[in-house]
Amino acid sequence: MEIVITSSTSELASLGADVVQATLARKPDAVIGLATGSSPLPVYAELGRRVAAGTMSFARVKAFMLDEYLGLPLDHPQRYRTEIDEKFTYVVDIDPANVHGPDGLTADVPGTCTAYEAAIKNAGGVDLQIVGVGTDGHIGFNEPGSSLASRTRIKTLNEQTRRDNARFFGGDLSAVPIHCLTQGIGTIMDARHILLVALGEAKAEAIHQVLEGAVTSRWPASILQMHPHVTVLVDEPAASLLQLQHYARDTFANKPSWQGF
């Protein structure tokens, strides 16, 4: 696991975009996993700038979203597909038909989840999965207590997560859906490379527990310790409780130039 503590959001955005660009340089038709929420936004914006500058292209890329709220109407601004389209799809040059997400309006939840798993598999699996982390340690919407081997399914959102996300719903907790569809932890762990992005002091405890604590469903993202290829990009506030932050800084400062991401 590579942990990079960045000194600014723009440095984090640039390194995150470097990770994506390295993936596409190796495999122009890569499959990318997309997180919604605030954490990846600087990276998506930087990817948009690089596409506009002609230095990279998503023309052959397929993308799979991590999760979706259950029951939000198609025209709801907080529907994750709407968010991803605004912040990623229409910002880069990906074909919108190649962006997939769980159908939050399905009448057949189990069938939709099984089909989503099959679609990821048929695409060849995810080459690079971008994830954020919840203040309670969730990845995707796999809340504490989730099976570490879980696949795409319905989950009930933790009240803490709904409170955290109420900011996107005008501060109205009752407007935040209670259920979602999310890739499982086993699904996420199948990705060949995982990029975790976390910003802000509110994530400090989760980042400490997830990266330095025990591997436990109490902090679901801690399973990433078991993955062979994880890149973590954090800002100083999110890294502030890391006990091994000096080692992370030394390692990155002395990273061999050939190594890349």
Using CB under 6 A as the binding rule, whether residue 140 contacts ligand F6R is answered as: yes
Q: 2 and 251 in contact (C-beta within 8 Å)?
A: yes
CB-based burial label for 75 (10 Å; 0-12, 13-18, 19+): exposed
Residues 48-87 that bind ligand F6R (CB under 6 A): 66-67
Of positions 9, 14, 21, 38, contacts ligand F6R by CB under 6 A: 38
Using CB under 6 A as the binding rule, whether residue 137 contacts ligand F6R is answered as: no
What phi, psi does 36 have (nearest 5°)?
-100, -165
Q: Which residue is nearest to ligand F6R (CB)?
A: 132
Using CB under 6 A as the binding rule, whether residue 35 contacts ligand F6R is answered as: yes
Catalytic member of 46, 136, 164, 190: 136
Query: Can you tell me which residue has the tokens 């506030």?
Result: 237
Of positions 101, 132, 177, 220, contacts ligand F6R by CB under 6 A: 132
Establish whether 138 is a catalytic residue: yes
Give me the 102-121 binding string for ligand F6R, x by CB under 6 A, dash otherwise: --------------------
Specify the residue, 57 or 237, whose C-beta has the smaller distance to ligand F6R.
237
User: Whole-angstrom Cα distance, residue 261 to residue 256?
Assistant: 11
- CA of 170: how far to CAs of 61, 156, 165, 174, 175, in Å? 34, 21, 10, 10, 9
User: Whole-angstrom Cα distance, residue 93 to residue 56?
Assistant: 9
Using CB under 6 A as the binding rule, whether residue 139 contacts ligand F6R is answered as: yes
Establish whether 159 is a catalytic residue: no
Residues 141-180 that bind ligand F6R (CB under 6 A): 141
Q: Which has the closest alpha carbon to 193: 250, 142, 152, 232?
A: 232
- Which residues are 195's β-sheet partners? 130, 231
CA 221 to chain centroid, in Å, comes to 11
User: Whole-angstrom Cα distance, residue 183 to residue 256?
Assistant: 34
Which region, judged by CB under 6 A, interacts with ligand F6R, from 16-24, 138-146, 231-239, 247-255?
138-146
Taking the complex as a whole, the smallest distance from the CB of residue 77 to ligand F6R amounts, in Å, to 15
Using CB under 6 A as the binding rule, whether residue 136 contacts ligand F6R is answered as: no
Catalytic residue set: 67, 136, 138, 143
Contact positions toward ligand F6R, by CB under 6 A?
Answer: 35-39, 66-67, 132-134, 138-141
